[in-house]
Structure 1
Amino acid sequence: MNLSLVVSNVQLTLAIVSFLMNGLLITLIALKSPKTLGIYKFLMMFMSAFEIFYALIDLLVKPEVRTKDYYWVTETNSQRSILPLSVAYPLLLIWACSFGIALACFGVHFVYRYFIVTGNTKWISGFKNCCLWMTFPILSGFVYGVTIHAYLYFDQVLDINLRFARAI
């Protein structure tokens, strides 16, 4: 059994599931949610739309995470991706940014719900606060992506280190 083919099929299947589930969730939130949800409705739609975007990037780039002993690397190649590598690298970087955004979305979700439970409405009402809550994940993803690009940019040194690490 070709493991790469299995991984590729799982990625495709999960991307389709993500499109369907998050699309349904956005539709339900937009059409069926009560007005009392306030800006939480927009935060949930933002997170679902982001997950659709994340799945699309994953589907296009088809990143593969490889691990060995003390390192892990996320990579793609021209056989896996339907895109040329000149386009795949920026998308792989966006995929990494999306990971940072996803992590921050969990935090925003729980902090926002904490404010709801404690009755602190100062930070959870109004358009300005909605934009503020959506900004945290985007900034987090941006910092994550810039850090990866600045310190882990693919060059000859990284190539030599990866080849050496794989040979061990």
Structure 2
Amino acid sequence: MLGKEWSALLQLVQHSTAVFSIIINTFLIYLILTKSPKQLGAYKWLMVYISVFEIFYSILDVVLVPQHYSHGSTFLVIVGIKEKILGPGGLLILNACYWGCYGASMAVFSLHFIYRWLVVTENPLLETFNGWKIILWFSIPLWYALVWISTGYILSAPNESTSRYIKDSVKEIFGLEFDEYVYLGPYLYEKAVNGNIHVAIKALLSLGIISVTIVSSLIIVLAFGILCYQKINQLVATTAASVKLIKLQRQLFYALVVQTIVPFVLMHIPGAIMIAFVFLDIDLGVYSAVLSMTIAIYPAVDPIPTLIIVENYRKTILEFCGCVKKSRISVTSTVERPKSVMISSNI
């Protein structure tokens, strides 16, 4: 498939998933604010925070229609200038903000699983999610975003060497003249006019920051996911086991599995592959557009497990669809259990 065909497919995916993401995240916010069980605690505000972030991410994605492109020892995030309200300078800033959203998403994944672990272990730090201190937790993704914005706009900014290296390839594959797009991307093994090759320090630093962010997020998600699962099993073993409680713990395990797989498949793996190809100086070509698609799909897919797993939300959806009769009685478990289990029972 040629680059133009990839671009057309990518634009279709970005527009359709953005609309779906905005609708489903808005609906989830409504359910969170009106249908959440009391036991949900501060997790309610964490879910709202994530949904608002994903709506913003989707809007930025559909406004820019960015294309990821791997060419040898560089990868680019290309934004076309045609039919855009902003000029090249404004689009370059928004492109950097798009980088920032990807970095912030890595922190959001980590924050999500750290909170889950604090809940099931009844860690004293859980109290910091109450009151004004929750702002400190919510500021972490913003700091990550700032680092990634700086990484894109400063360390991976367009330069003469990168432009000379990529302009013919971009024209051949995407049919874009050099003045028809803006880009951000590190060029690791720079080739001078005389043919000499050297490692660009800025590009190396940029790739280092990106790699550390992705790998650390992946480690945190997997580590805290495993710790949560082990703690849940421990709670089952030390609690008077009932059919309802065992069923609940299985639901929590399935929630952890799904909520680990989604970012792992759609965000971590594609991003890691892109970086690895740059270090190996391997040309991924137009197939690097897969990363653009998975990023676009992520905000639309991520809310679905929550809508299905949280009983109050699932029941509301079924009532709305006419699958079950509306009931005034809230469905809750009558089984006595430790506080940690009660808090996490609807997560």
Structure 1-normalised TM-score? 0.89
Per-residue CA deviation, residues 79-138 of structure 1 (Å, 9 max, x unaligned), is: 375543232111111111000111100000000100001111433441233112101111
* Aligned match for 1:33, one of 32, 36, 39: 36
User: Tell me, which stretches of 5 or more residues in structure 1 are unaligned?
Assistant: none
Q: Contact 2:69 / 2:77 at 8 angstroms: preserved in 1?
A: yes
Per-residue CA deviation, residues 53-73 of structure 1 (Å, 9 max, x unaligned), is: 000001111100112344321
Q: Which amino acid aligns with 1:158?
A: T
Q: Contact 2:119 / 2:126 at 8 angstroms: preserved in 1?
A: no
Taking structure 1 as reference, are residues 21 and 37 closer, same or farther at Cα in structure 2, changes over 3 Å only?
A: same
Q: Which amino acid aligns with 2:157?
A: Y
Q: Distance in 1 between matches of 2:6 and 2:80?
A: 15
Q: Contact 2:25 / 2:51 at 8 angstroms: preserved in 1?
A: yes
* Aligned match for 2:163, one of 136, 159, 165: 159
How many residue pairs match? The answer is 168
TM-fit CA distance, 1:155: 2.9
**Matched residue of 1:76: which SS?**
strand
**Higher alpha-carbon deviation: 113-122 or 99-108:** 113-122
1:46 aligns with 2:49: yes
Q: Which has the larger radius of gyration?
A: 2
Sequence identity (%): 28
**Aligned residue in 2 for 1:58:** 61
Question: 1:1-168 residue pairs with structure 2 within 5 A?
Answer: 2-79=5-82, 81=84, 83-124=86-127, 125-163=129-167
TM-fit CA distance, 1:157: 3.0
Q: Contact 1:23 / 1:48 at 8 angstroms: preserved in 2?
A: yes
Q: Distance in 2 between matches of 1:147 and 1:70?
A: 17
Tell me the C-alpha RMSD between the 2 structures: 2.2
Q: Distance in 2 between matches of 1:79 and 1:49?
A: 29
**Higher alpha-carbon deviation: 23-32 or 153-162:** 153-162
**Matched residue of 1:153: which SS?**
coil
**Matched residue of 2:68: which SS?**
strand
| Structure with bigger RCO (C-alpha 8 Å, 6+ apart) | 2
Q: Distance in 1 between matches of 2:53 and 2:103?
A: 12
User: Tell me, which stretches of 5 or more residues in structure 2 are unaligned?
Assistant: 173-282, 284-347
Q: Distance in 2 between matches of 1:136 and 1:79?
A: 35
Q: Distance in 2 between matches of 1:122 and 1:110?
A: 14
**Higher alpha-carbon deviation: 36-45 or 10-19:** 36-45
Taking structure 1 as reference, are residues 116 and 80 closer, same or farther at Cα in structure 2, changes over 3 Å only?
A: farther
Q: Contact 1:66 / 1:73 at 8 angstroms: preserved in 2?
A: yes
TM-fit CA distance, 1:3: 2.5
Q: Which amino acid aligns with 2:26?
A: G
Q: Distance in 2 between matches of 1:65 and 1:81?
A: 18
**Matched residue of 2:158: which SS?**
coil
Q: Contact 2:66 / 2:78 at 8 angstroms: preserved in 1?
A: yes
**Higher alpha-carbon deviation: 98-107 or 143-152:** 143-152
Taking structure 1 as reference, are residues 7 and 81 closer, same or farther at Cα in structure 2, changes over 3 Å only?
A: farther
